[in-house]
């Protein structure tokens, strides 16, 4: 079970992953060493999956976002198609979806010419790809990787990871 302090640490880190440990400690009322130990345990248990810097896509001339529905041949091993799509650097997300049993990918590129090149040279040639359908994003109202944290749900979902009796133990 996640206690109130660890839950607050998760909320703080999700809002600002680069916040200094000393500041997190001040906000939750613990010593920095205790906060660091909690964070390490949350990482070790896979509750914190990593830290990522979000770059401004406009600064890198990657303003065009598109979603591509990819239909694959039913005899092809779907996992291998997904892995090969994930290896394409411009593709930011790869999801195997229901319906026509295929993939939905999110891609970020500089312009329609680059999008066309990637479709023609990297996606359509993949073994098993039958059809692609591309939708270009005109505007974005919200884009985030944050997970809404419901305190009751989070606390219920995890077993004891940092009760006072096991703070120094490794789970």
Cut 0.85: pTM above it: no
SS (H, E, C) 11-71: HHHHHCCCCCHHHHHHHHCCCHHHHHHHHHHHHHCCCCCCCCCCCCHHHHCCCEEEEEEEE
pLDDT tens for each residue of 6-58: 999 999 999 898 999 999 999 999 999 999 999 999 999 999 998 888 889 99
Pairwise CA distance, residues 167 & 130, whole Å: 53
Domains and CATH numbers, the chain: 1-54 (1.10.10.10), 57-136 (3.30.70.920)
Residues 6 or more apart whose CB falls under 8 angstroms from that of 20 comprise none
- What would the pLDDT profile of 81-130 be if each residue is shown by its tens digit? 999 999 999 999 999 998 777 999 999 999 999 999 999 999 999 999 99
């Amino acid at each position: 079970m996640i206690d109130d302090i660890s839950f607050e640490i998760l909320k703080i880190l999700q809002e600002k992953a680069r916040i200094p440990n000393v500041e997190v400690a001040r906000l939750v009322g613990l010593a920095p060493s205790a906060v660091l130990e909690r964070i390490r345990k949350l990482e070790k248990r896979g509750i914190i999956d990593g830290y990522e810097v979000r770059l401004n896509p406009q600064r890198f001339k990657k303003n065009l976002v598109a979603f591509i529905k990819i239909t694959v041949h039913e005899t092809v091993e779907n996992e291998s198609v997904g892995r090969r799509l994930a290896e394409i650097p411009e593709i930011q997300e790869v999801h195997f979806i229901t319906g026509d049993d295929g993939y939905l990918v999110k891609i970020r590129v500089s312009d329609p010419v680059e999008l066309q090149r990637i479709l023609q040279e990297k996606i359509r040639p993949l073994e098993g790809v039958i059809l692609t359908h591309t939708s270009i994003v005109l505007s974005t109202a919200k884009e985030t990787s944050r997970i809404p944290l419901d305190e009751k749900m989070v606390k219920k979902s995890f077993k004891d990871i940092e009760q006072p009796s096991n703070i120094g133990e490794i789970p």
